[in-house]
Structure 1
């Protein structure tokens, strides 16, 4: 395998590797990249996180404010999400960056809403006509595949470490945390030569026959959803394997997320 082939014909390069059960970065086909998580990464935010999934890097910041409830609060969503893919992230989408950011934004919001992972009723303040409004901003610092996986971890970690303080000027003011109904963990897969690759990097995503993702609740280890848009069909056997891998990965991610709750001062975690 030469670097010349990798550049001139990436499909042939990766296909030959995959046929031998190998990958360009040295991983096996069913191997996920290491996750590194740091909370309190942005001092000016009310809560924040930095996630590194291999060479993919995501930073997330949360800001809060108390707003009045309107129309009984029926049409008010306490959590707003914005995701950015700036040119600095070296993303593979070229001039389609804005469109891709919009699609990722929707995918991220859908995961939070469809899984009902956050107890939003807990964000309405008792005995008042007000609620906590949380702005979640996600920025991709470097795009090397499986960006949704990393973004979900970053958002959950930031929200998990968020302290809701009604009066920030009063040190003794009541403080609470967000309540979670579940902890969704997304695992992305790519198919190359009818073989499934766990956690594809950007090169593998670009030449894949299809990509899909499996979302698992890491608290109960139950399957929440499977998302696939177009591309080559997936056999039941490969799908079953992917769900199994996703559940094993979710257990590992859950241990990282739960560590935030144990001690918010111990804000650097690493998996190997």
Structure 2
């Protein structure tokens, strides 16, 4: 009887198996409490920031979180105050996800994900007193600062909300506005070419996001593939005093109190670590 040659056997290599059966591929790792990229389940990706690298902006941050990279630039413009808030300036956040960062996104108007993140960040600024908007007033009823906060994703590999929020807080930390005076007789603003002022942040809310895989595995800081394979995501936002500023859940799977508590402790540690990174980077400017 002829022997069967090894050449006749059919064996899937790891890459092919991962593409054909991605969930089963992940399960083989997660049952051993490790992820395919080598991280433990609650391990966040390496994060780095570079501040004040965009000289044309009043504040900026280039952030890398694993393979997700974003650039945040803040431009300040003088405008008339809103009628209902004549003594307050305002902030306009915008997140851009274009085909440059991933083939997932199409050219044209902002997609659903970009709009959703922009709206969540705008809501956070309104609910959490991050900046005293009175400090953006130049002259009551006449002139205020408007901060246009633009976040552009240049490489997308999941968890864009955490990346966008941290880049914004970091850019605000190194924001410098020219010292200005409103000249009533001429109805215009005169800016100093030498003197600048910094804005004090009243709060530094930062986020930590998790996804739930197979209803039981909690994965911190999900990459794009993990987001696609998971049914539920959970984001916690904490300030520097460990006060919960917001929590959002996407997906319909009910989560136990024990699971949420486990994420809470991890989220507080993560946001503290990000603040330490920001503080140390600021000291080295």
User: TM over 0.5, yes or no?
Assistant: yes
- Describe the superposition over 1:203-239 as per-residue Cα deviations: whole angstroms up to 9, x where unpaired: 101000211101111x212222211033311111110
SS of aligned partner of 2:118: helix
Distance 1:91-1:111 versus aligned 2 partners, 3 A rule: farther
Q: 2:125 aligns with which of 112, 124, 127?
A: 112
Q: Please give the alpha-carbon distance, in whole angstroms, between the structure 2 residues aligned to 1:150 and 1:65.
A: 25
Q: Which position in structure 2 is the counterpart of 1:211?
A: 233
Query: CA offset at residue 68 of structure 1?
Result: 2.5
The 1-side partners of 2:133 and 2:192 are apart by 25
Question: Matched residues in 1 for 2:113 and 2:26: separation?
Answer: 25
- TM-superposed CA distance for 1:251, in Å, is 1.2
The 5 Å alignment of 1:137-216 reads: 137-167=150-180, 170-173=192-195, 175-193=196-214, 194-216=216-238
Equivalent residues of 1:57, 1:142 under 8 A apart: yes
Deviation, 1:166, is: 3.0
1:64 is aligned, of 76, 80, 90, to 76
The answer to whether the Cα contact below 8 Å between 2:89 and 2:134 also exists between their aligned partners in 1 is no
- Secondary structure of the equivalent of 1:80? strand
Q: CA, structure 1 residues 101+70, in 2 after alignment: closer, same or farther (shift >3 Å)?
A: closer
Deviates more, 1:157-166 or 1:239-248: 157-166
Render the CA deviation track for 1:56-108: whole Å, top value 9, x for unaligned.
00101111112233425259761011111010111646699612211111122
1:220 is aligned to 2:241: yes
Instruction: Give, in whole Å, the separation in 2 of the partners of 1:212 and 1:34.
Output: 20
Structure 2: where are the runs of 5+ without partners? 1-12, 181-189
Aligned residues: 262
Range with bigger deviation, 157-166 or 48-57: 157-166
How does 1:119-134 map onto structure 2 within 5 Å? 119-125=132-138, 129-134=142-147
Taking structure 2 as the reference length, the TM-score comes to 0.84
Q: 1:94 to 1:135 in 2, by over 3 A?
A: closer
Larger relative contact order (Cα-Cα within 8 Å, sequence gap ≥ 6): 1
Secondary structure at the aligned position of 2:163 is classed as helix
2:54 aligned counterpart, secondary structure: coil
List per-residue Cα deviations over 1:84-143 (Å, max 9, x = no partner): 101011164669961221111112212222222222121112567321111111101111
Q: Does 2:45 align with 1:33?
A: yes
Is residue 136 of structure 1 aligned with residue 157 of structure 2? no
Return the TM-score normalized by structure 1.
Answer: 0.88
Aligned-residue Cα RMSD (Å) equals 2.3
Larger radius of gyration: 2
- 2:279 aligned residue: 258
Give yes or no for the alignment of 1:81 onto 2:102: no
Counterpart of 1:270 in structure 2 is: none
